[in-house]
Amino acid sequence: MAKRPLLWTRLDHPGVPKVWVDQGFVGRLAHWTAQILGRELEIVRRGPDQRGFHVQPKRWAVERTFSWLIARRRLARDYETSLAHSETVIRWTMIGVMVRRLTRGRPASRPGPRSFSRAEACGLNCRAPEGSPLTS
């Protein structure tokens, strides 16, 4: 099942020396990839003591890209009738992502943790009624 995409990766991108795959591909696939394709197949595994969701190395970039694609309404469902249309919409979406990055003018950053205050929670003019436990 995974041999065909690996073969096409080898033919389309001959300079790619290593391929990362999910732990579901453990088995003879790594040996086949090394012998037939001449590529290293690295299996990204969960830690033995890991419980719940944790970001896996290398895998997160792919899942993040899928989330960018799904964020577009047209790609949220498979509305396209032909593969060429679907590919065009994906390219169009990724062009939009890259243009947004280029025009931003600064590196991406996340805001740090903010302190929580009552004024922020209910607006600047929020006042607790007299005699309320909030005023004491």
Note the pLDDT tens digit of each residue in 8-26: 888 888 888 888 877 777 7
Beta-strand ranges (E) seen in 66-110 are none
Q: Collapse the DSSP code of 41 into the 3-class scheme (helix H, G, I; strand E, B; otherwise coil) and give the result.
A: strand
**Spatial distance between the Cα atoms of 26 and 12, rounded to a whole number of angstroms:** 24
The token duo for 88 is: 């065009």
122 pLDDT band (50/70/90 cuts)? low
Q: What is the dihedral of CA 33, 36, 38, 41, to 10 degrees?
A: 0
Beta-strand ranges (E) seen in 1-136 are 18-22, 40-44
pTM beyond cutoff 0.75:
no
Is the CB of residue 56 less than 8 Å from the CB of residue 44?
Answer: yes
pLDDT score, position 130: 61
Average pLDDT (80-92) is: 83
The token duo for 39 is: 């590529």
The token duo for 23 is: 């732990």
Placement of tokens 């679907």 in the chain: 86
Q: What is the dihedral of CA 37, 38, 43, 44, to 10 degrees?
A: -110
